[in-house]
Chains A and B, each alone.
Chain A
């Protein structure tokens, strides 16, 4: 077992444990902070996969914007409901059963696939991943249409969020 593999196992274990804390901790501020730890773990996984740009975007967009938005929402919506009463609903065991069954189903389905334990080929030397990604997002024979649709979606979400959360009184 190489050092890279040991480091990956540590990162994966921390990611999964903090994800477990996200869904089980009673205090939602703690859950949001555990989400930050999970998102950092996922960013390190992106760095393992030679996707440095996505790792940076993960830190900036997810941790910098989405996790902070969650913390704000938790603080704006807690009076008594957030901390009293059960954290789980009465059918939580059905949810746990569905989650375990879906994990086992995914694992058994993937382990039958021939490319399951494939190794990565070495990155081509001088490969400009960020330049390739930018080219793919902006060229007409690439993904410029999904890119523009995503920008319209973000604008619509911005207007919708302001409209919904605006206090009319």
Chain B
């Protein structure tokens, strides 16, 4: 049997790696990759708490399904924004996109 702590530590590590990716990468697509890693870490936690709590209460799995839907929506809109910015500015490097900076 696997204790709950292993799942929580795996999720914490995955979240931290995703946080590093979102903070440190220059390319906007790579930043979205980091956000995806963080969302997956949250989902592991939700499903682990469902399994180690009362399995008849489905809230953990329902939350995970909602996170799937939100992640799909986020990626679709985010990548459309990246492609639109690339058409206008010919770059996807986040620090070059400074037209809203005064």
Contacts and interface: CB of A to CB of B under 8 A. Distances in A.
Interface in B43-80: 43-44, 47-48, 50-52, 55-56, 58-59, 61-62, 64-66, 68-77, 79-80
A58 B33 CA distance: 16
Which secondary structure dominates where chain A touches chain B?
Answer: helix
Which secondary structure dominates where chain B touches chain A?
Answer: helix
B6 A99 contact: no
Contacts, number: 257
A165 B17 contact: no
Size category, B interface: 35 or more
Q: Which of A32, A49, A74, A94 has the most chain B CB atoms closer than 10 A to its own CB? A: A49
Contacts of B75: 66, 69-70
7 contacts: A22-B17, A22-B21, A81-B92, A89-B25, A99-B16, A107-B12, A117-B3
Interface of A: 2, 4-5, 8, 12, 15-16, 19-20, 22-23, 28, 31-32, 35, 38-39, 42, 45-46, 48-51, 53-54, 57-58, 61-62, 65-66, 69-70, 72-74, 76-77, 79, 81-82, 85-89, 91-92, 94-96, 98-100, 102-103, 106-107, 110-111, 115-121, 123-124, 127, 129, 132-133, 135-137, 142-143, 146-147, 150-151, 153-154, 156-158, 160-162, 164-165, 167
